[in-house]
Amino acid sequence: MALEHALLVALREQPASGLELAQRFGRSIGFFWSATHQQIYRVLGRMETDGWVRVETVAQQGRPDKKVYDVTELGGTALADWLAEPSADTPLRSDLAVKLRGASFGDREAVLDVVRARVVDHHTRLGHYRQLMKRDYPAPHSLAGLELDQYLVLRGGILMEETWIAWLTEYLEAHS
């Protein structure tokens, strides 16, 4: 699918090793895409044989060598092509929504507890995002290009978290 392309975007922003990519995915890009290190290694290998990335082994002090990947010209055009493709919108895949809908068929109070726990999660994440926002983009109106895009994606993460909280709160209030 498109983990390839997510990696291309990440590597164009900054060349990195597999593990560094995995860590970055836990942060910024990971708002909208996640991947484990095993998956990343496998895909990087495939991308290397396809000639989308080149690799350079870098010695480190006090640590094993790392293999730093960078995007080739071929990879760059593959990315540009993909960016221009129409993208089908993926249905949400939320198991929590299924639980909300099915609450009548189990212990409703237990489901409400599950929902309350998730509200806490979303608040935590939202707090984290807002902190990033304040730290990295204190003056959004002066941004342009890559930085503006990064800001806008973080902004989307915040909007999504706020929506989850609003929705789940509405659910809890309707059932109280």
Nearer to a copy of itself, 15 or 66 (CB): 15
Question: What is the C-alpha R_g of the chain?
Answer: 20
Exposure of 128 in the CB half-sphere (CA atoms within 13 A): 12
Q: Tell me if 36 contacts DNA by CB under 7 A.
A: yes
CB under 8 Å to 57, separation ≥6 — which residues?
65, 66, 67, 68
From the list 36, 50, 114, 130, which residue makes contact with a copy of itself (rule: CB under 8 A)? 114
Tokens of 56: 């350079």
Nearer to a copy of itself, 67 or 125 (CB): 125
Q: Tell me if 38 contacts DNA by CB under 7 A.
A: yes
CB under 8 Å to 137, separation ≥6 — which residues?
143, 147, 151, 154
From the list 13, 28, 39, 143, which residue makes contact with DNA (rule: CB under 7 A)? 39
Nearer to a copy of itself, 42 or 150 (CB): 150
Nearer to DNA, 28 or 39 (CB): 39
Unique residue bearing structure tokens 């396809």: 50
List of residues contacting DNA (CB under 7 A) = 1, 3, 17-20, 34-39, 41-42, 44-45, 60-68
